[in-house]
Chains A and B, each alone.
Chain A
Amino acid sequence: MDGYVLLGNEAVALGALHAGVSLAYGYPGTPSTEIIEYMQQVIEPKSGVRAQWCSNEKTAYEAAVGASAMNRRVLVTMKHVGLNVAADPFMNSAIMNIKGGVVLAVADDPGMHSSQNEQDSRFYADFAKLPCFEPHNQQEAYEMTRAAFDLSERFHVPVLLRLVTRLSHSRAIVRPNPSRDANPMVKFTGKDDFITLPATSRKRYAEHLELYKRLRAYAESETVNPLKPGDTDAPFSVITSGLGHNYFEENAEDLGFSPSVLHVNFYPLPEEKIRTLAAGSKRILCIEEGYPFIERLLRGILPVSVTVSGKLDGSLPPSGELNPDIVRTALKLPEPSSKVEDGHRNLAPLPGRPPQLCKGCPHRDTFKALNTALETYENHLVTGDIGCYTLGYLPPFEAIETGLCMGASITMARGAAQAGMYPVVAVIGDSTFMHSGLTGLADAVSSSVPITILILDNSTTAMTGGQDTIFESKGIRKVVLGLGVEPEHCVEMVPLPTKHEENSDLLRREIEYKGVSVVFAFRECIQTAKRKHTKEAKA
């Protein structure tokens, strides 16, 4: 047996490499991060293949379109909320005449294991009228990535590969197929292939709508979306997608009958197949991970005489991750009888154990200094951002008060200051600042608002496990000065317990300044520092 035990994310990476990918771009975001990380580990330095982190998802996606124009196959990776950032180029690329295959792997996070919302990327594929694959195990993650590249080149459109946390972060055995060579570099030839002007876009959009019909026909093929007929007198039929299929299978043998099952691997939905399934059933139970995407579309496809059950009628919960127990309840199966003795119930309800900043994390000292600096002001606002330091919202620090999305600490601070609030401090990490803090800083400087921006520079993207930032530490200082921050109000501190007084004084001074000031708190993340240390010790 020739196989590897891989995370779902690693299976995608291997699939892309075996599909002859030349480039991969992404921005780290749990649960998508390991795709690029795995590629970086296994790519031979001399191969010419590259996997790189970008400043954000939009730049990553745009780079991919550029590579495709040169006939290269390219993978783009991000988490679901990252696609909001890349939505602009994503929507427009749908009507371009993609040359080298473009596959966009997006990892959704139902259950919000480490995200600020749940959202379902299948809606984006539908919104852009683009094809979407949804694997339900690691082997499929590998195979569908390859199929997605082929399809992208065949239909000249980007293809979305929708993953979810539980697939991205689970391991199973993957058996690979022989790999394919990379495409040669060849410049695109169609004059309006990669341009969007109203005149060209109108023409291409009309073509895109025609193409969508062909995609729908493709979705009807048995290999793509398999329909398995069951007992003719079964009380209901089932439509599954993604991991919903696994939890259904886990319980199916207890049903005592076999329902007809349509498993959706590929979107747009196979409407003909759905009608065939519905012809023999009064009720269809829809088991899908994420939003009720299929379920809602079903209501437009099926006659009203067919009952559709799923998240909308409460058969399945409207939010959170699916699991075998939830699906068991939806199938109206009794709870499993085996139960442990009630010994543990003597104990009061167990206290939660929320995540917290590591012991010795530099952010701890920064938050302490900030809290001390702000003590003298009765009223103040500290806007926060996305990163480990978001944990500064929780006790014991309770130092930040907001968290909207990447980069919003600075822009929200600007708005609050112009609304009349003073003092306002924006807290943002170095990687997040490069992601989407720069444009906010330009806004703030242009309107010279009295805000203090605290850049927590720990030289890494810590929350996702310590990926390299695109600039070395301190490199950002030049950018900040370049955007017009006064040099005397672009200052540095080192967050250490011994420097508490010094740092809180410095922060108070900058808060007193009635313009845009930027304070860098420089100290490496202790996790990255530790890893470097072990590596050096080994070398």
Chain B
Amino acid sequence: MKYDIILCGVGGQGVLSVAAIIARAAMMSGLEVRQSEVHGMAQRGGAVEADLRISDGPIPGDLIAKGRADMILSMEPLESLRYVDFLSEKGSVVTSDHCEINIPDYPEKQAIFSSISSFGRALTIPADALALTAGSARSANMVLVGAASFHLPIEFSTMEEAVRERFASKGELIIETNLKALSLGRNFAEAGSRRRSG
């Protein structure tokens, strides 16, 4: 088994912390993990991408080859489109619907969303809205992790454990909020999949 994820977004959105939580949960499940990340200049509001590779056997390299990614997990819809060449035939796109418009030539939102929905396995999540429901706008990333977890070869309870561990130092309230965000994301993805198959 191997599962390759391309994580993307805009510098400052927390791409690396999303990667860290999934990586941690994979490790807790006894899997091998390699995670490649961006540092330095690239982070200042620019496009950010990280490769996360999970496997039950050795993983030679840090980078995902074209056409091999099992998932594109994006904090931003435009960014999710930047890496589609890497997606495998059966791969899924999971993206937040929040547009980060910090460039003058940002395309028409509608064009972006229709392009995303043209992929068979694409899910656009109102991550900000669901995060607010969970109790804090800042847990939008956990909504995305929850949605992604629906596809990942990791038990949901292990994901919960990783989230608990990640926020352990921040107090019970923040842990609860993030766990709630995680489940809301998960439920949204499950419902989405039922809608498609139904």
Q: A residues engaging B (CB < 8 A)?
A: 5, 30-31, 33-34, 113-114, 166-167, 169-173, 243, 245-247, 249-250, 323-325, 328, 335-341, 343-344, 346-348, 350-359, 388, 391, 463-465
Contacts and interface: CB of A to CB of B under 8 A. Distances in A.
Given A246-B62, A338-B89, A353-B102, A171 B41 contact: no
A30 B107 contact: no
Interface in B71-87: 78-79, 81-82, 84-85, 87
Contacts of A30: 39-41
B168 interface: no
B118 A170 contact: no
A534 to B, nearest CB: 11
B61 A356 contact: no
A347 B27 CA distance: 38
Contacts of B63: 166, 247, 323-324
A337 B68 CA distance: 10
A343 B115 contact: yes
A250 B33 contact: no
Contacts of B24: 5
B27 A358 contact: no
A388 B44 contact: yes
A169 B12 CA distance: 17
Contacts of A338: 67-68, 88-90
Contacts of B36: 166, 169-171
Contact of B84 (A323, A344, A463): A344
Contact of A336 (B46, B59, B65, B90): B65
A388 B24 CA distance: 32
Name the residue in A323, A335, A357, A465 with the highest tally of chain B Cβ atoms < 10 Å from its Cβ: A323
Interface residues of B, number: 56
A385 to B, nearest CB: 14
Contacts of B39: 30-31, 33-34, 114, 169, 465
Contacts of A34: 39
Given A246-B61, A247-B61, A323-B65, A351 B40 contact: no
Interface string B87-131: 111110000000000110111000110111011100000000000
Nearest to B24: A5
B119 A350 contact: no
- Top 3 nearest A-B pairs (CB, nearest first) are A343-B118, A30-B40, A355-B46
B119 A343 contact: yes
B24 to A, nearest CB: 8
Given A114-B39, A350-B82, A350-B107, A357 B119 contact: no
A170 B78 CA distance: 25
B44 A391 contact: yes
Given A324-B63, A336-B65, A356 B102 contact: yes
Nearest to B26: A5
B161 interface: no
B111 A347 contact: yes
B112 to A, nearest CB: 7
Name the residue in B61, B85, B107, B116 with the highest tally of chain A Cβ atoms < 10 Å from its Cβ: B61
Nearest to A349: B107
Nearest to A321: B63
Nearest to A34: B39
A281 to B, nearest CB: 23
Name the residue in A31, A171, A340, A351 with the highest tally of chain B Cβ atoms < 10 Å from its Cβ: A340
B138 interface: no
Contacts of A173: 27, 32-33
Given A171-B23, A249-B60, A249-B61, A355 B43 contact: yes
Given A114-B40, A339-B89, A355-B41, A344 B118 contact: yes
B190 interface: no
A503 to B, nearest CB: 23
Contact of A353 (B65, B90, B103): B103
B42 A171 contact: no
B115 A114 contact: no
B191 interface: no
A114 B42 contact: yes
Contacts of A464: 40
B13 to A, nearest CB: 12
A368 B102 CA distance: 19
B47 interface: yes
28 contacts: A5-B24, A113-B42, A166-B62, A166-B63, A170-B34, A246-B61, A246-B62, A249-B61, A336-B65, A336-B67, A338-B90, A340-B88, A341-B119, A344-B116, A347-B112, A347-B115, A351-B78, A351-B107, A352-B47, A353-B79, A353-B102, A353-B103, A355-B41, A355-B45, A388-B41, A463-B40, A463-B41, A465-B40
A328 B60 CA distance: 14
B35 A170 contact: yes
Nearest to A1: B30
B38 interface: yes
Given A114-B42, A340-B89, 20 more contacts: A171-B37, A172-B33, A173-B32, A323-B63, A337-B67, A338-B68, A339-B89, A340-B87, A340-B88, A343-B115, A343-B119, A344-B115, A344-B119, A346-B115, A346-B118, A347-B107, A355-B45, A356-B44, A358-B44, A463-B40
Contact of B81 (A245, A325, A344): A344
B44 A355 contact: yes
Contacts of A341: 118-120
A347 B111 CA distance: 7
A392 B116 CA distance: 34
Contacts of B79: 353
